[in-house]
A and B are shown apart, each in its own frame.
Chain A
Amino acid sequence: MMGAEFVALSLPPILIGICVAVACALPGNFLLLRRQALIGDAISHVVLPGIVVAFLVTGAVATGPMLIGAAGAAIAAVVVIDVIRRLGRIESGAAMGVVFTAMFAAGVLLLERSDTSNVHLDVEHALFGNLESLIWLDATGWASLLDPAALAGLPVELPRMALALLVVALFLFVFWRPLAMSTFDEGFARGMGLRTGPLGLALVVVSAIAAVAAFDAVGSIIVIAMFICPAAAARMMTNRLGRQVAWSAGFAALSAIVGYVLAGYGPLWVGASASVSAAGMIATVSGLILALAAIAGPHRKAVQ
């Protein structure tokens, strides 16, 4: 398992899984503390109509237009959610719930009415992605990691996801203080002259970048789980924001590795023949970690 086969078949999906998990978990910390955790859920649902519209416009399953369509839909949803929240004066969770279900449903209808039978575009793909198929055929062993010719054959999702992770990490690093201040005490932050509105929007846009980049590779299940589970589990491990974010990144990476290995080999270990969905297993593992933290984490909130 540690040889050429591992490098070609398992290493790329595991690395992509780690990038997806960490890229979503990092902003998830702030979304959770701002009581906006559902926005990850919302974004990963609304990208479906965006992708379908992009397909209908271009007539091809090309990554570029699809990402643009998905990003467009995500931004439209964020704006609509905000408008509903302000004009309707309802809680943001309710606004998100309405918008993302409606847009996802519209996406399903569009998908059904359009002729996508001959291309790889369906609701199942949107939910679970296809992590297992992201293999690296040019790899012949660990040495391929240093071989430029072989590296050129890496699944394109890996560098794309690594870039998304870098964007997310850089954003959080640079705007750490304003984000922490405005998340804890928005009134104080505004009194200091911080533009908390654009900052909050930037956080959502960065989350959308992570979600849209991840969606194509792994579907929405992992995205939804990773925006919430690692951060929620990490909150129960520490009472300090920096450590919480570090814990959440660790939990996310752990979920990706353990989930992928369990999905691929777990069924064999218990005597079953076929493997199960890696995306589903990664999300499940992150849920189990959350459950463990809720039972045994040192900084659980006291039950009142």
Chain B
Amino acid sequence: MTLALVQDDAKLTEAARMASPLAVRGLTVSYGQTPAIFSVDVTVRAGAMTAIVGPNGAGKSTLLKAALGVITPLAGTVAMLGQPLDRMRDRIAYVPQRASVDWDFPTRVIDVVLMGMYRQLGLLGRVRATHRAQAMACLDRVGMTDFATRQIGQLSGGQQQRVFLARALAQEADLYVLDEPFAGVDAATEKAIIAVLKSLRDAGRTVVAVHHDLATVPDYFDDVVLLNTQVVAAGPVAHVFTEDNLQATYGGRLTTARADPESVAG
């Protein structure tokens, strides 16, 4: 009887993995000697907004990067709808940390958004009026049309983050993966970004974001993954986002973590 139950459970998780737009199993990444993340299993629910939460150095960004193949993991598998990720690239949009790029790069806002359409354009395809219109529509969704011809270094941090989101929108993906989308942005931008992300979710897309501000997790997200090198707990916010689980994730550092939403390490 117990055995049957266990099998049932295994079948259920397997089914959940096949339906998941991002199913990670046994993912381990190490920088040097100590693992940054160790044997992480995450099954992201389709059509939901999932927050990845944890203290500084917990491996949140590392988890995203390894899941998307931006860095090479030591071990583990990643699948989208049961398929290897490389076959699903055009259905995934990744928004890296804003601080990870050189904003002095000689390019305009509209050109950055057009980068999101690389898979349509290909190596040598010409940028036509329809592509430009599509890019402008993406800028419009984040309220940045007035800045289309600005050099990207002339934008504020919040505006830069909106441009990154517009570039992801241009990819017309099914899965949106964002690394610290609210780090160092103004309140208006945070509102604008969360509105766009919720509209994506309402259109049936899946959103996964590394998030720092514990106070807004229940407001913004449906599911949460509590990470500290390993997964401490994962599931719907209502069940998982408890004081006990947070204490287990942050240890004694919970108060400091709450007071320090600015940090970009992880």
Contacts and interface: CB of A to CB of B under 8 A. Distances in A.
A184 interface: yes
A193 interface: yes
A128 B124 CA distance: 39
Nearest to B108: A240
Contacts of B106: 33, 235, 238-241, 243-244
Contacts of B118: 177-178, 181, 192
Q: What band does the interface of chain B fall in when counting residues whose beta carbon is under 8 Å from A?
A: 20 to 34
A183 B106 CA distance: 11
Contact of B94 (A188, A240, A241): A188
Given A191-B68, A239-B108, A241-B107, A185 B119 contact: no
B100 interface: yes
Interface residues of A, number: 27
Contacts of A235: 106
B96 A301 contact: no
A192 B107 contact: no
B105 A187 contact: no
Contacts of A238: 106
B265 interface: no
B65 A187 contact: yes
Contacts of A187: 65, 70, 94, 96, 100-101
Contacts of B171: 192
A185 B86 contact: no
25 contacts: A174-B124, A176-B123, A177-B121, A178-B123, A184-B105, A185-B96, A185-B115, A187-B70, A187-B94, A187-B100, A188-B94, A188-B96, A188-B101, A188-B167, A190-B69, A191-B69, A191-B92, A191-B93, A191-B94, A235-B106, A239-B107, A240-B107, A241-B106, A299-B151, A301-B104
B89 interface: yes
A191 B115 contact: no
Contacts of B94: 187-188, 191-192
Pairs of residues from A and B, 8 with the lowest C-beta to C-beta distance, nearest first: A191-B94, A193-B89, A187-B96, A239-B151, A190-B70, A185-B101, A184-B105, A191-B68
A180 interface: yes
Contacts of A190: 68-70
